[in-house]
Structure formats: C-alpha cells, structure tokens
C-alpha cells in the first residue's frame, strides 16, 4: 500500500471514541461557559434591580412618618400652644388695658377743657332735670353734633374732645348707646348704654346735681376749689351697683334691659360712689334701697383711674380705699372685716371726708 493510500485509509477509518468524547466535552464546556455568563448577567441584573427597589423604598420611607413620629409631633405642638396661648391672651389683655388708659386720659383732658369753657365749673355726673322732661329745651345739651336729653358726664365732654358720642343724638331718649369707641373701655366693649356705662364719675365730690328739697346735692363745683387735683379721682373703671353684691350674686351685662336689676354688672355705672359711704349720702342711682356702686378692677386685678390733673394710673381697689367682704361685696355701711374704707383719694382735700349729705 502506497503512502497515499495509507493516508487516505487513515482519513476514512473511524475516529476513536476518545476523540469524539473530547470534542463533546469541549462543546459542553463552551455551553456551560455561556450559561455561566448568562447566570452572571442575570445575577448582576437581579442585584441592580434589588438596588433600584431598595433605593425606591428608602426614598418612600424618607418622605413619610411613622405613627410614633406623628404622635410625638402632635404632642410637641400641643405643648407649644399651651405655653403660647396664655402669653398671647395676656398680651391682648395688656393691649386693651393700654387703650382703656389712653381713652380715660382723653376724657381727663376734656374734663379740664370743659371747666375752662364753663367759668371753671366742672362737669356734673348729670345736669339737673328741669320741669317738663323731654319737652323742656333746658334739658337739652350740646354733645358736639346736636342736642341730647340730659347726657351723662362723658357725653357732656364731647364738644371739648372733638368726638361725637352718638351718631344721632336725641332729645327724646334718656338712654342712648354710645356709637363712638372713644368713650368706651375695650375690655367691656359691649357696655355702651350711657346709664350703664363702663366709666364711673366721682360725682359725689365733683358734681352731684340730683335735686333734693329744691337744692342740688353738690353742684356747682369749681375747679379752683380742688385742693389736691393730682390726688383726686375724676373717673375710673366702674361696675355700678353690682359692687353692692357678692361675686356669686352678680349678673352679666345686658344692654337690652329697660329696667336692669341692681345685680347686673354696669348698672348705673356712670355714677361711682366713693369707698366710704354714710347713712346720709347717696347710694348708686340715688333712689331708696339702691345698692352702692364701686370700682371695677377689670384689668388683671386693677382699675384704670384718671385724676383731676389728667394723669392716669392702674390701681387696685384697696389702693383706692375700697374694702371688700370675703364674698367680694364692697363694704357699705356695715363694719369691714379689716381696715376701714377711706375717701382720701376722692374727697378733693386729701382727707377722709364724708360724702356730702343727700339732704333728704
């Protein structure tokens, strides 16, 4: 057999199993390598997906709050409100007291100007009532923008102040509501009735024009006769005849009542009785059986007070000379449980003088 024939016979002879197995193994390894690469790629993709989901989860978690976090936040807010609300309330009360003080100061200036324009006669609590009532022009008095039937002391100061107490003053109405806030106390802004008025006048010593037996009880009073203007109360926050009752017995203000009970806060508030009264002196509205009127410490335990020289102070009722019983009722003719009341800041002399007698 030639060499070429042998070579051809070799090519045509079947290959041994080992060679075939070797090639199959190679193919398997290649296939396995592809699968490994696919597995690697799959693992990487899964990892990236997990990271993406984790990032989204963390992003969502950072934008929300747990129930505990919400409850803690609410507790903190409630605590802050509990601390701030009293502070804000106190600030508002202080602002109202300051406005009240300013308005009383304006009335004090008007009081002085009224005396200057009326031959040194200071304004009375109310001017005397002439016979004839509404029909007698002598009972009509100018309040700046017209005549008014027997206005109270504050409305009488209007022409001097340049402010109008009533939009339409009437000569047929004894009790009109003040329309201008200039004449009112913001702490009791609904006390607008000129009879049941928030500011009480020291009428018993400065001008009590109530008639008894043909004579006014103390009118006229001249400004020059005041010995201690800086130590004489002109007007102050007043609760009216409610001061003659205990705190528990007092009733709230009602502007619509035609005949308010004496227990009502502000009843006959325009007339401020001095701390110490006598059996012969006026009480409240001057009628038999009327309770005394008193100061009203409505501004955090103090009352705003304007003196005859025009200065204003915030004072307690005791500093003004008033005394109270344990239930809050102001001492009248009954003996006090402690130091006696004193009229030193009301008498215009600096002494504890008796109020002028009613001459009944």
Q: How far apart are CA 136 and CA 130, in angstroms?
A: 7
The answer on 107 and 59 residing in a single domain is: no
- Quick one: 257 and 123 in the same domain? yes
What residues in the chain have per-residue pLDDT under 50? 1-18, 24, 26, 30, 36, 40, 44, 50, 53, 56-61, 360
Residue 201 inside a domain? The answer is yes
Q: What is the count of structural domains for the chain?
A: 2
Residues 115 and 169 in one domain: yes
Q: How far apart are CA 135 and CA 178, in angstroms?
A: 23
In this prediction the pTM is 0.78
- Looking at the structure, tell me whether residues 221 and 306 fall in a common domain: yes
Q: What is the pLDDT of residue 60?
A: 47
Half-sphere exposure of 311 (CA within 13 A, CB side): 9
pLDDT at residue 211, rounded to an integer: 82
Residues 116 and 33 in one domain: no
Cis peptide before 165 (omega within 30 of 0): no
If asked whether residues 34 and 166 sit together in one domain, one would say no
Task: Confirm whether 267 is domain-assigned.
Answer: yes
Host domain of residue 136: 103-320
**Calpha distance 312→106 (Å, rounded):** 10
The whole-angstrom separation of Cα 11 and Cα 121 is: 152
- Strand pairing report for 312-315 and 208-212: unpaired
Q: 50 has which bridge partners?
A: none
Residues comprising the chain, all counted: 360
**DSSP letter, residue 272:** -
Is 228 a domain residue?
A: yes
Is 279 in the same domain as 135? yes
- Tokens encoding 189: 């802004």
Same domain flag for 34 and 177: no
In-domain check, residue 213: yes
219-to-138, 293, 314 alpha-carbon distances in Å: 17, 20, 28
3-state secondary structure of 312: strand
Q: Is the dihedral of CA 96, 100, 101, 103 positive or negative?
A: positive
């Amino acid at each position: 057999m030639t060499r070429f024939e042998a070579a051809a016979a070799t090519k045509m002879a079947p290959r041994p199993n080992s060679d075939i197995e070797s090639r199959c193994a190679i193919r398997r390894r290649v296939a396995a390598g592809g699968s490994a690469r696919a597995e690697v790629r799959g693992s990487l993709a899964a990892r990236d997906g997990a990271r993406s989901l984790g990032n989204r989860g963390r992003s969502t978690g950072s934008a929300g709050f747990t129930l505990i976090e919400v409850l803690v936040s609410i507790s903190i807010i409630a605590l802050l409100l509990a601390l701030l609300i009293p502070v804000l309330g106190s600030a508002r009360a202080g602002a109202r007291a300051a406005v009240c003080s300013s308005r009383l100061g304006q009335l004090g200036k008007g009081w002085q100007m009224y005396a200057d324009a009326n031959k040194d006669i200071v304004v009375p609590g109310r001017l005397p009532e002439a016979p004839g009532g509404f029909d007698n022009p002598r009972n009509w008095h100018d309040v700046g923008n017209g005549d008014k039937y027997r206005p109270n002391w504050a409305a009488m100061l209007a022409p001097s102040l340049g402010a109008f107490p009533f939009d339409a003053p009437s000569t047929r109405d004894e009790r009109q509501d003040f329309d201008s806030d200039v004449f009112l106390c913001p702490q009791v802004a609904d006390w607008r009735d000129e009879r049941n008025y928030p500011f009480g006048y020291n009428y018993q010593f400065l001008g009590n024009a109530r008639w008894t037996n043909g004579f006014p009880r103390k009118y006229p009073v001249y400004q020059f006769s005041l010995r201690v203007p800086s130590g004489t109360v002109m007007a102050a926050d007043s609760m009216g005849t409610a001061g003659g009752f205990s705190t528990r017995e007092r009733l709230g203000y009602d502007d619509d009542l035609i005949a308010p009970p004496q227990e009502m806060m502000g009843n006959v508030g325009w007339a401020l009785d001095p701390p110490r009264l006598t059996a012969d002196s006026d009480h409240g509205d001057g009628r038999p059986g009327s309770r005394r009127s008193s100061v009203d410490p409505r501004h955090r335990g103090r009352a705003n007070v304007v003196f005859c020289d025009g200065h204003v102070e915030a004072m307690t009722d005791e500093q003004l000379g008033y005394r109270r019983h344990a239930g809050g009722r102001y001492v009248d003719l009954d003996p006090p449980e402690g130091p006696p009341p004193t009229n030193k800041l009301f008498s215009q002399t600096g002494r504890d003088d008796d109020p002028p007698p009613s001459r009944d």
